Amino acid sequence: MNKILPIACFLLLTLSASADRVKVKLFSNNSIDLINISFDLGTYDIYGADTTLIEANIGNDKSVELTTQGRKVHVAINGYDYGSHNTVSFLATDTACILCLNPRNIKQRTYEGNLTVSVNKRGHLQIINDVEFETYIAGVVQSEIYGTDPDIFRVQAIISRTWAMKNINKHASEGYNFCDQVHCQAYLNRCVRPDIMLGTMLSSGMTIVDDEGKLIETPFHANSGGETANSEDVWRTAVPYLRSVPDTFSYHMRQSEWVKVINEDKWLNYFANKHKLDTSDDSIRNELLTFSQSTRKVRLCNIPLTRIRNDFQLRSTFFSVLYDSTAHRVTLSGHGFGHGVGLSQEGTIRMVGLGISYDSIIRHYYSGAKIFYDETHPHTYVENYIKHITQIIEEDKSSATRTVSKQDDWLGRLFRIRDREEREEVYDPRTDELDNDWLYDW
């Protein structure tokens, strides 16, 4: 069963630099030598490196185990040996297909799209997800921010889309576009929440540009602590749209404040040994033990705060030092979480809750930047997509206590609604025709 139009046909791909699909390296920080792959929705064809068909139309009744065998990938399906191959590819036979990935000793994840598995130079499995660009963005939004209001997800989608399009070739020399960690953007699962996908779709056609119409860099962090940082204070390069701005919206949030207690000798010896400061000098010692920031500073005793943050694994550089001479310790009283440049995510959550518009939020954090809206994207399909997801969200609210199965995943439900509309039928969620919905012969 093949759907008439893939998601790429009706999800926005903005500007000429955009891509229909992207390749993302999964489990980038892990060394994997065994992974079990099962199928939550739809079916897949499995191919070897030379386009040899290993198995066709594998669905939720099958389980595939991949292991390393020298420089090849060994395949076993439901316990039967299917040999070893240079690469193994899982190609979706339908737009609505979901893979469930279970590496040994690592938490399970699910993804949409295709998958290619090979063995890297270190002898571990390399797993690449080939996925629709906007599906990737929705997965990033889910991984990067929390909340319930679709406008929160709309803001995150705009900045994540802008970053991805500007950095589309970040890992091109390695055979993929992005990794799944914060080195690029977190992409730790497919989007499983329709409200997050709704926010992503509400951002369709939107990226952030400078006065010349060029995509900007869009760094973001968890919480500014009350004031964002200048780009040059963290990365040495001054950027006109990454200016420090007051950010009271980040107050009184989950990650607004932090505290770290350090032994006095450890604190002073760090500066003496690593930075060659004479901590017996009263003026130096006094500055190290009474350092205070009511607004952001860049250095402590001429040492970059970014280095101190990194060496002590601090949540931010926005901290003051409180000295307890009796206990011989210092307490770092800190504000915020992250590098502090660009958008504060918890500030965004607060602003959305106050009814501030998504475009005003973006302009607050990216000084002088503009939202570019691509008028060429497929309006009708995006509008229908938003309408259908909104319908699913409302149905979930009205039947919150019902037991759901994998077949009730929002993606599967979306395509059932679309199927019925294309057959000029009226969708009624109370009917018991869910299994029959998947038998329509295109």
CB-neighbour burial class of residue 80 (10 A; exposed 0-12, middle 13-18, buried 19+): exposed
The owner of tokens 């995943």 is: 409
Output the six-digit token pair for 389.
Answer: 């997801």
Q: Are 119 and 72 in contact (CB under 8 A)?
A: yes
Q: Are 250 and 387 in contact (CB under 8 A)?
A: no
The pLDDT of residue 9: 35
The pLDDT of residue 113: 95
Max distance between CA atoms of the chain, in angstroms, equals 83
Could you give the C-alpha distances from 85 to 27, 98, 246, in angstroms and in order? 21, 23, 56
The pLDDT of residue 399: 77
Q: Give CA–CA dist 344/348, Å, rounded.
A: 6
CA angle 39, 200, 116 (to 5 degrees): 35
Going residue by residue through the chain (442 aa), what tens digit of pLDDT does each one get? 333 333 333 333 333 334 589 999 999 999 999 999 999 999 999 999 878 999 999 999 999 999 999 999 999 999 999 999 999 999 999 888 999 999 999 999 999 999 999 999 999 999 999 999 999 999 999 999 999 999 999 999 999 999 999 999 999 999 999 999 988 999 999 999 999 999 999 998 899 999 999 999 999 999 999 999 999 999 989 999 999 999 999 999 999 999 999 999 999 999 999 999 999 999 999 999 999 999 999 999 999 999 999 999 999 999 999 999 999 999 999 999 999 999 999 999 999 999 999 999 999 999 999 999 987 766 677 888 888 889 888 888 887 666 666 556 888 888 777 766 665 554 455 554 444 443 333 3
The pLDDT of residue 421: 66
The owner of tokens 């119409």 is: 213
Q: What is the DSSP string of 348-364?
A: HHHHHHTT--HHHHHHH
Could you state, in order of their start, the residue ranges of all structural domains in the chain?
7-179, 257-335
Please list, in sequence order, all residues whose beta carbon lies within 8 angstroms of the beta carbon of residue 264, skipping any fewer than 6 positions away. Answer: 289, 323, 328, 329, 330
**Phi, then psi, of 298 in degrees rounded to 5:** -110, -30
CB-neighbour burial class of residue 15 (10 A; exposed 0-12, middle 13-18, buried 19+): middle
Output the six-digit token pair for 343.
Answer: 């958008």
Question: Would you tell me how many other CB atoms lie within 10 Å of the CB of residue 202?
Answer: 18
Q: Does domain 7-179 have CATH number 3.40.50?
A: no
CA nearest neighbour of 234 among 226, 223, 225, 244: 244
Q: Where are the beta strands (DSSP E) in 305-360?
A: 319-324, 329-335, 343-344
Pairing of strands 109-112, 98-103: antiparallel
Cα 199 to its chain centre, rounded Å, is 14
**Phi, then psi, of 275 in degrees rounded to 5:** -115, 5
DSSP H/E element including 37: strand 34-41
CA atoms within 13 A on the CB side of 80: 6
334 SS3 class: strand
CA nearest neighbour of 228 among 244, 252, 205, 209: 244
Q: Are 159 and 218 in contact (CB under 8 A)?
A: yes
- Residue by residue, what is the 3-state secondary structure of 148-181? CCHHHHHHHHHHHHHHHHHCCCCCHHHCCCEECC
